[in-house]
């Protein structure tokens, strides 16, 4: 039995840092254990111009000062000129596309996918990856399923464009990974753990509620199998999305699970319980480094066997599965 795990350069390929006091609270919690992360741009107003981007970079740099952490920036997808994309390319890792109104702060997103094609052609030529929140406005359980045809269409229309299906939640999305060479994906911690029953099967569990919503047991099983096998086109992306308590425990519950501070400990539990601990390094680091062409920060996280309890709160944010006891804890970050 292994009592110690050393993870080299763990990366979180999908994370929300917010702004202001929330940024100052949550960003260090990721920067402490991760080597880097892809930062989402769906703020109010969205990060969609160079001035907004530069200001956000400065805010993040201040929040993570002293940590060995690289924020990989994104901008909010809209129609951009070649001149703008050439100018911004050196500042960002990717561009994030949201269908209008599909998730938090996405009202300014794309209404018709064909409206994106001119910008996508330029991105393909410049080698700028596309990240996608892939949901339609159909019945909530079918929204990702209905979007899969759009992914297939985009991958065929732009064969040299790296397209990342963000936070996939269905067995069908896992299958699509193997169909197109330029399709990749991220998966969250919560979608490896829960189904819709864990959100609304009994009393409503607001801190388990996120978008895309958790799906069926067979979907969870497919996601788990892909992660445990460290599918080469799948990377860990927490989609860690903090909201203050009054926004979660309310009549209009905000979508998002906060997981980043304990993601590595929780994933170690999951991988060990399924006999796949040797694949954890690939899932949380190696795949991302290869697929996104990342450089090492020479950061290592040592986990040791021992009880760790997920805190009840971080500031005014209640995390996913607060109070749960895990079997791994972080001994050292170097």
The catalytic residue positions are: 239
Whether the CB-CB separation of 163 and 186 falls below 8 Å is answered with no
CA distance 219 to 143: 14
Give the tokens for residue 128. 């700028």
Contacts of 192 (CB under 8 A, 6+ apart): 220, 223, 224, 227, 267, 270
- Residue 294 near residue 288 (C-beta atoms within 8 A): yes
Those residues whose C-beta lies under 8 Å from the C-beta of residue 96, and which sit 6 or more positions away, are 40, 41, 42, 74, 75, 76, 77, 131, 132, 133, 166
SS (H, E, C) 20-86: HHHHHHHHHHHHCCCCEEEECCCCCCCCCCHHHHHHHHHHHHHHCCCCCCEEECEEECCCCCHHHHH
Tallying the residues shown for the chain, one arrives at 334
């Amino acid at each position: 039995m292994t009592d110690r795990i050393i993870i080299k350069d763990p990366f979180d390929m999908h994370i929300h840092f917010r702004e202001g006091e929330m940024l100052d609270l949550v960003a260090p919690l990721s920067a402490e254990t991760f080597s880097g992360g892809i930062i989402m741009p769906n703020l109010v107003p969205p990060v969609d111009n160079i001035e907004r981007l530069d200001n956000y970079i400065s805010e993040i740099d201040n929040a993570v000062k002293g940590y060995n952490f690289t924020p990989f920036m994104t901008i909010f997808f809209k129609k951009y000129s070649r001149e703008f994309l050439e100018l911004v390319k050196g500042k960002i890792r990717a561009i994030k596309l949201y269908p209008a109104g599909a998730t938090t702060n996405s009202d300014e997103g794309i209404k018709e996918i064909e409206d994106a094609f001119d910008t996508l052609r330029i991105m393909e030529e410049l080698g700028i990856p596309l990240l996608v929140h892939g949901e339609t406005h159909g019945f909530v359980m079918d929204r990702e399923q209905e979007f899969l045809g759009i992914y297939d269409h985009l991958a065929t229309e732009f064969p040299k464009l790296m397209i990342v299906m963000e936070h996939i939640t269905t067995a069908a999305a896992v299958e699509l990974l193997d169909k197109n060479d330029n399709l990749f994906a991220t998966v969250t911690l919560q979608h490896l753990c829960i189904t819709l029953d864990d959100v609304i099967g009994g009393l409503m569990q607001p801190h388990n509620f996120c978008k895309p919503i958790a799906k069926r047991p067979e979907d969870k099983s497919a996601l788990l199998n892909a992660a445990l096998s460290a599918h080469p086109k799948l990377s860990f992306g927490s989609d860690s999305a903090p909201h203050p308590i009054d926004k979660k425990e309310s009549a209009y519950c905000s979508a998002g699970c906060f997981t980043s501070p304990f993601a590595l400990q929780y994933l170690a539990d999951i991988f060990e319980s399924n006999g796949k601990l040797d694949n954890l390094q690939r899932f949380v680091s190696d795949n991302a480094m290869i697929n996104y062409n990342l450089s090492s920060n020479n950061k290592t996280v040592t986990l040791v066997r021992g009880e760790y309890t997920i805190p009840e709160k971080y500031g005014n944010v209640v995390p996913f599965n607060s109070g749960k006891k895990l079997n791994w804890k972080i001994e050292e970050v170097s």
